[in-house]
Amino acid sequence: MQGKIIRGIGGFYYVHAEDGVVYECRAKGIFRKEKIKPLPGDNVEISPVQDEEKPAGNVDAILARKNVLIRPAVANVDQALVVFAAASPKPNLNLLDRFLISMEQQRIPVVICFNKTDLISTEEEELLRDTYVHSYPVQLISAANGEGIEDIQRLLDGKTTVVAGPSGVGKSSLTNVLQPHVQMEVGDISHKIERGRHTTRHTELICLREHTYFLDTPGFSSLYLNGIAQEDLWRYFPEFVPYEPYCRFQGCMHISEPDCAVKEALAEGKIPASRYENYVMLAEELKNARKR
Ligand SMILES: Nc1nc2c(ncn2[C@@H]2O[C@H](COP(=O)(O)OP(=O)(O)OP(=O)(O)O)[C@@H](O)[C@H]2O)c(=O)[nH]1
Ligand SMILES: [Mg+2]
Ligand SMILES: [Zn+2]
């Protein structure tokens, strides 16, 4: 029987099988034979086993993967919905830019989503949109009042989407709005203990409708770049790429070189200052990493 892993916890894999039942499975054979760790989103072959208390089984094989994401760890995704809060917590655009680079590296199409628009002004919304609209699709939404949710539903249609972003930005709240039948636990960030009480700890795959899946993931708070050479970093900023052929020097890093078309575009306001500043900061970080 075939199915899809919707969650993995403590050595158990919960498989939504083609008979509509969720089986609690072990995957010992696969570890031993192929040394592959099953991931949420994996399509698998299972065999049910007798169990008095619940539907149970074994994962016998992992079907060929379309792709595997390392951060967050999921398989077979079509796109990432990168969620940041427009406010509360204040968006850390350096972390967002790191995350976008990581998705570029993993070749996953990205949609940026700023949640909690109910907390900001129209001017603040425009500023966020202007910073990213040159490079990615941007959605401004509020899981609290429903703004922009229809657009998100349309974007998700027929695809498997992983939702990723820092803790407390409303990823689980958005999941709940998109799928009223499943209620993910939502953290209360005003709670005294800093981390929030119902912070998501495991990735969970939710079937929104036929052929449309959504993976809620735990929040992250930092991300180090690796596997990128300093001189290639600009390639991970999609809005820099069209200007590069007009730079005077081949191998221009767009930092201190003269007659740099990227810096000209920046001066003309065609490249957002915040993106360029983060680029320079990250290039410096990569340079120092190499020295170590
Ligand atoms: N004002 C406002 N608050 C929101 C909105 N969406 C979510 N929240 C609140 O933000 C807090 C965090 O929401 P969660 O959905 O738990 O955030 P999360 O991204 O899943 O967090 P982790 O699971 O820790 O990664 C909760 O108190 C929500 O009620 C929104 O659109 N507007
Ligand atoms: Mg959550
Ligand atoms: Zn240049």
Spatial distance between the Cα atoms of 71 and 80, rounded to a whole number of angstroms: 11
**Nearest C-alpha neighbor of 13 from the set 29, 1, 26, 30:** 26
State which residues have CB under 5 angstroms from ligand 2, the bound ion.
171-172, 200
Protein residue with least CA distance to atom 32, ligand 1: 116
In single-letter form, the type of residue at position 67 comes to: N
E-only strand ranges, 176-290? 204-209, 212-216
Give the mean pLDDT of 270-279. Answer: 97
Q: What is the pLDDT of residues 123-170, one digit of tens each?
A: 999 999 999 999 999 999 999 999 999 999 999 999 999 999 999 999
E-only strand ranges, the chain? 2-9, 12-17, 22-26, 43-49, 56-62, 68-69, 74-75, 79-85, 110-115, 138-140, 160-164, 204-209, 212-216
Percent of the chain with pLDDT over 90: 82
Asked if pLDDT for residue 194 goes beyond 80, the answer is no
How does strand 12-17 pair with strand 2-9?
antiparallel
Ligand 1 nearest-atom number relative to CA 195: 24
Cα 79 → chain centroid: 8
Residues with CB under 6 A from ligand 1: 115-116, 118-119, 142-144, 167-173, 186-189, 196, 199-200, 218-219
Q: Tokens 């967002």 sit at which residue?
A: 96
Confidence of residue 192 (pLDDT cuts 50, 70, 90): very low
Ligand 1 nearest-atom number relative to CA 185: 16
